[in-house]
Every structure is written in C-alpha cells, then in structure tokens.
Amino acid sequence: MTLNLHPDILEAIRRALAEDIGPGDVTTDSIVPAEAAMRGQVIAKQDGVVAGLDVAQAVYEMVDKVVDFHPQAEEGARVTRSQVLALVSGRTRSLLTAERTALNFLGRMSGIATLPRQFVDAVAGTKAVILDTRKTAPGLRMVDKLAVKRGGGHNHRIGLYDMILIKDNHIDYAGSITEAVTRARSAQTGLEVEVEARTLEDVRESLGLGVERILLDNMSLEWMAEAVRITAGRAKLEASGNVTLETVRAIAETGVDFISSGALTHSAKVFDVSFDYLT
C-alpha cells in the first residue's frame, strides 16, 4: 500500500519520525523488552471522514517492516465515534514508538478530509467543484492535498509551477491584466492561464484575451451571477474569498464552475483518534 504514496509524503514521514524519535525512544526502550509483542487498534473518537490509513501504515513500516497493519475502514469513508479504523500487531517497542507519528498524520488527514466532504455535500446538485488552495502546512503539501481529494474535494494547482495564476499583485506590477497576460504568454510555458478578476470589467478584459480560467475574487453573489452570464461558457469561472459552509451553496447556485477555499486545509480541526492496547 505504501508504494503508492507520493515521494514527498514518504519524505514527510521520514522527517516526522526523525523529529520524534531522535537517537531513540528512551521511555519505551527502558521499559519494554526487545522480544515483547503486542496487538492494538486505532479508534475513531468522533464522527467524520477517515483519510490517511495508508500513511499511518507507512509510518509503522518505516519503524519496523514486520509490523502488521490491517485497515478496517475504506479511505474517504464516513466513520463514527468508537469505530475501529485499523488493527495493528508486532513488536511492542515498534508499535509504541511509531504511535504518535502515525496518529498525527491520520488525525490531520482525517480532519482535513472531513471538512471538504461537508463543502461537497453543501453544493450537491450544482455543477460547482470544490477546490483547495496552496494554504497548506509547510512541508506537508502533498499530505494535505491528498486528504482533500479523499474528502471528495479537488486539488487546484500543486505549486507555483503547474499553472499560470495571475493575481492582483502581478496585475498591479504589470500595469494591467492585458500586459500581465501578454508577458506570461511570452514565456511559452504551454500552461493554462488563470486571471484574478476584481471587477466585471476585469472579467470582460480577461475574456477578450482568451484566458482559460477567471478567478472571481471576493465578488458579491450578484456580480458572480453576472460574470457567469457574461462569460457564457467561454472560460471556466472560479469563485474565491470568504467561502464558508454557510455561503458556499449560494455561491454554487450562481453557476460558477469552481469554488476554492483555503479553509479546507488551514482551518480543518484535527480528527481525534487513539491507539488502544489489546494484549
């Protein structure tokens, strides 16, 4: 299972283990004999969406390749309080040493997955796709973005390298949307171009330049609906800015194609999970 994880995620696990264990787990190693074995279970302490069981498994495997980790729930599934998420067995030292790092990843990813699922449910029946942003924890971008996908959301761009997104500061520096787009296209990257629009006139200017996507920044519902009418399918429209669970349905009903929210990753509450000793 762990072979399918992105290399950045595996590297994040290595860093986390090195950070936590350092030269050794002095408490466990001083109390538990090297030959001791145990079984345990990972338990959900709340209702939500589980994500990152394979990441937790990778943590255990990096500590000890002979640990047996058996997921009891599917990735992205809704789970309930007290539900068993995984059964784990192996050397006692290994299980106790890996416990906190494994739960940290699982709790973070499940917390993130739970929030986009709520947004996706809120816009059900519309064409709007829920997107994340680059507002992820430093060093954990692929972890956070994987969690969003497992919660039913979609990834926007991964970094600064896979899409041209011309934002307000780029436009202000270049002097206009037209000049910024002209300069970006002159680089001949072949990448999709998205432009941030602060007004409906910005939308019209962007359409005239034939950009593929337009970001509607903090626009009112009325302006967003008008932008949909003006665009008439000539570009994809993304709504962004102060998107909440209370407002996302109304935004989706304007007819925009995408709704992005940094809250999916920067404001998700960690999902409460625990590891319980069985034998």
**Rounded to the nearest 10 degrees, what angle do helices 141-150 and 92-122 cross at?**
60
* DSSP state string for 16-64: HHHHHHTT--HHHHHHS-TT-EEEEEEEESSSEE---HHHHHHHHHHH-
Q: Which residues pair with 214 in a beta bridge?
A: 195, 237
What is the rounded distance in angstroms from the CA atom of residue 232 to the CA atom of residue 268?
35
Both tokens of 143, joined, read: 């972890």
- Domain range list for the chain: 2-114+269-277, 121-266
- Predicted confidence at residue 51, as pLDDT, reads 98
Residue 66, classified by CB atoms within 10 Å of its CB into exposed (0-12), middle (13-18) or buried (19+), is exposed
Q: Just list the catalytic residues.
A: 100, 135, 167, 196, 217
Residue among 18, 16, 2 nearest 140 (CA): 16
| Residues of the chain scoring pLDDT < 70 | 1-3, 279
Query: Strand pairing of 84-91 and 68-71?
Result: antiparallel
79-137 residue pLDDT tens: 999 999 999 999 999 999 999 999 999 999 999 999 999 999 999 999 999 999 999 99
> 242-251 pLDDT, tens per residue?
899 999 999 9
Residue at 182: amino acid letter: T
Q: What pLDDT score does 4 carry?
A: 87
Find the helix packing angle between 7-21 and 92-122, rounded to 10°.
Answer: 130
What CATH superfamily classification does 121-266 receive? Aldolase class I (3.20.20.70)
- Confirm if 259 and 127 have CB atoms less than 8 A apart: no
Q: Name, in order, each residue with C-beta under 8 angstroms of 175's C-beta and a sequence gap of 6 or more.
A: none
Position 2 scores a pLDDT of 54
CATH superfamily placement of domain 2-114+269-277:
Quinolinate phosphoribosyl transferase, N-terminal domain (3.90.1170.20)
Helix (H) or strand (E) holding 275: strand 273-277
Please answer whether residues 85 and 103 qualify as being in contact, where contact means their C-beta atoms are separated by less than 8 angstroms.
Answer: no
